[in-house]
Every structure is written in structure tokens, then in C-alpha cells.
Structure 1
Amino acid sequence: MTTTMSAADLWLPDPEEHDFPAAADYLDLIVDADQVERIVARLREAPTRAKKAKDVMRASQLPLLPADNVHVRHNIHKVRDGKKLSPVLLVRGAPLLIVDGYHRVCAAYHLTEDLDIPCRLVSP
């Protein structure tokens, strides 16, 4: 859609507090409770770093949700309204796990796939 956006135009500097329980809920489906606690604690402490939207999508091996998906569309409208999105939470693996922020990654990709996405990235 546009290639003149910068990460600072779209993203908050740090994840919002509610992102961590959301990540824990997702992780609870795939790892035991002790691992959930350890991973979420590491996500809270990890530095925020930038990765390209196209690389996050490729590494996650998840399908790109369409721009008209209700949650993706909501995030695109937030950006267009001047509101910033929360960085995404990622866990290394093959494939990469987007433990919070899948819809935000898809929205960013639709805005411009070369955009840097702030993320917290940890190993399991």
C-alpha cells in the first residue's frame, strides 16, 4: 500500500501489558505450565529488536491473512488513524512461533512487507 512508512510511525516502543497473558494463553496450548512461565518471563526481559515483516511471515510458515480479515483490517485502520501497534512476541523454532501479534504482523505486511516490525524474540 505504501512504502514511506517507518517502524516509528506504526509501533509502540514496548509490548503492551495485556500481550504477555495473551502469549501465555497461546503457549499453554503447546507447552507445559513451567515452560509457559519461563518463556513469558524471558519475553518480558528481552530487548525489543526489529525484523522485517516478510521475514517473520516466512519464518513462521503461517499463511498471510487477507487484508479484509476483521482483525487485520482493524490493525490497518488503527495505523491509518495514527494509533500505534504493540510489538510482537516471538519464540524461536522451526517454524518460528508468533505467540502474540499474528494479526499485527499480517497488517504490517499488507502495509509494506519490507517494514521493520519491533519484536521480542526468545528461544524456548
Structure 2
Amino acid sequence: MKKNTLTRDSLWMKEPEDHDFPAAADYLELLFPPDKVRKIVEKLKEATTVTKKSKDILRASKLALLPDTNIHVKENLKKVEKNKKLSPILLVRGEHELIIADGYHRLCCSYYLTEDLEVPCRLV
């Protein structure tokens, strides 16, 4: 898919996939106790999908942009090339930074395509 034909609707699914929530829980269990993780994941499931720019999500998370040679970033870039849509990312407001609970590789992929494109996400 060429950069000039990218749109939010051509690149992203409207809703996260079911397997994204357990993946988010696996990551969040490294940061929070199990009871809090369950509450956060329930909130993510119930949250409305909103959009934010990939460059702003990356800055707020304070994470480095993964190289486009990263195997998972490359896989997502190939998906886009084949016109397969990416799942929205799952975000949690942390104390001093944004936590990407699921979708870090998809976010980096999006950034390489265009840093200004709106990224669908669930934010709690």
C-alpha cells in the first residue's frame, strides 16, 4: 500500500481483536498486581475506540521507535502491503508515561508508514 493511499480506515480495524486483551494482560502483569490488571483489562474492553497520532503516542510512552528491521514490525509492514488491517492498540495512562499494553509493534509500523496518521486505540 502506498503512503499516499493510507487512511485510518484502510490501515486499521475498527475494534481490537479478542487475543489482544490477554496479550495486554500478560504485559500489564509485569507492572501491576493481578487484581488491578483484571480491572484495567475490563476497562480496555469497555472503552470506546479513540484516535491519536502515532508520533504523539510514541512520545507519551517514552519508548524508542523500534527499527523497521525488527521482525514483528516487518511482519506488520508486510500485512499492510497485503492490504490486511491492523488491530487498534491498547493504552493505559501511567503515572508519568503512557503504557502501551498491546500494539507496540503495530504502532512502530504505523510510524514508519506515516507518523501523522490517526491510530485507533483504547485508552484507559
Which range, TM-score by smaller chain?
over 0.9
Mapped to 1, the partners of 2:5 and 2:63 lie a distance apart of 26
Q: Shift in Å at residue 3 of structure 1?
A: 4.3
1:70-122 per-position Cα deviation (integer Å, ceiling 9, x unaligned):
00010011011000000000001221000000000000000000011000000
Q: Which residue of 1 aligns with 2:56?
A: 55
Q: Shift in Å at residue 68 of structure 1?
A: 1.0
* Paired amino acid for 1:111: L
Q: Shift in Å at residue 4 of structure 1?
A: 3.8
Task: Give me the identity figure in percent.
Answer: 57
Q: Which runs of 4+ in 1 moved over 4 A?
A: none
| CA RMSD between the two structures | 1.0
Mapped to 2, the partners of 1:16 and 1:26 lie a distance apart of 16
Q: Confirm or deny that 1:24 pairs with 2:8.
A: no
Is the 1:3–1:112 Cα contact (8 Å) retained in structure 2? no
Mapped to 2, the partners of 1:2 and 1:113 lie a distance apart of 11
Is the 1:54–1:114 Cα contact (8 Å) retained in structure 2? yes
Mapped to 2, the partners of 1:5 and 1:44 lie a distance apart of 27
Equivalences for residues 67-106 of structure 1 within 5 A: 67-93=68-94, 94-106=96-108
1:16-70 per-position Cα deviation (integer Å, ceiling 9, x unaligned):
0000000000010110011000000000000000000000000000000011110
Which blocks of at least 5 consecutive residues in structure 2 are unaligned?
none
TM-score, normalised via structure 2 length: 0.96
TM-score, normalised via structure 1 length: 0.96
Mapped to 2, the partners of 1:12 and 1:79 lie a distance apart of 12
Which blocks of at least 5 consecutive residues in structure 1 are unaligned?
none
Mapped to 2, the partners of 1:24 and 1:48 lie a distance apart of 18
